[in-house]
Amino acid sequence: MPLGGNIEYSVNTRVICATNKNLKKMVEKGLFREDLFYRINTITIEVPPLRDRKDDILSLAEYFLTNFSNELGEQKKHLPASIINSFMDYKWPGNVRELRNIIERAVLLSGSENITINDIPVELRYHNSFTEYPQNNQIESSERKMLLSTLISSEWNITAAAKKLGLTRSAMRYKIAKYQLEKNTI
């Protein structure tokens, strides 16, 4: 019966609740109402975090790519193998929402039909903080070349180069010092 009304209407509804908390333990600790728990606890479906469902990552990424490309009225973007590998190695602390946001960002930033490494956040590229890069010489050599190339194409404008690489200005300065890059570096 609507508030203030005097006629009852039949409705057929289902309530779906989602949480990352253990409600049963919260009831035991007195942090969640027991009566509410038993009203909503008809069927429980446990969905493991994305990091434990590696097989779903590519399907979800493709789904989000299609949706965001369509939403923007663009041709569907493509993910290269290098980015897919990064996705598979990443721990996804933000779960599916984080993947969705990263794909949306990549589609928005990408200037071509292919997503590039520069279109994804730096934390996903390296899976560590700026000071904990992989100690692989080949990766560092590639990163150094990429930094130098970007600095040269930006005429050594650190802010512009940092923006092209998706880095902060301070992160860019850190990398310039780390690799001892100078204008006369060839």
| pLDDT at 136 (0 to 100) | 52
At 32-61, the pLDDT tens digits run 999 999 999 999 888 889 989 989 999 999
pLDDT bracket for residue 135 (50, 70, 90): very low
DSSP, residue by residue, 36-55: HHHHH-SS------GGG-HH
The answer to whether 147 touches 175, Cβ cutoff 8 Å, is: yes
Query: Which structural domains are found in the chain, ordered by start?
Result: 50-126 (1.10.8.60), 137-178 (1.10.10)
- Range scoring the smallest mean pLDDT among 20-24, 99-103, 142-146: 142-146
Encoded tokens for 127: 């899976």
Please state the pTM of the whole predicted model: 0.56
d(CA 13, CA 67): 28
DSSP, residue by residue, 84-136: HHHHHH---TTHHHHHHHHHHHHHHH-SSSB--GGGS-HHHHHSS-TT-----
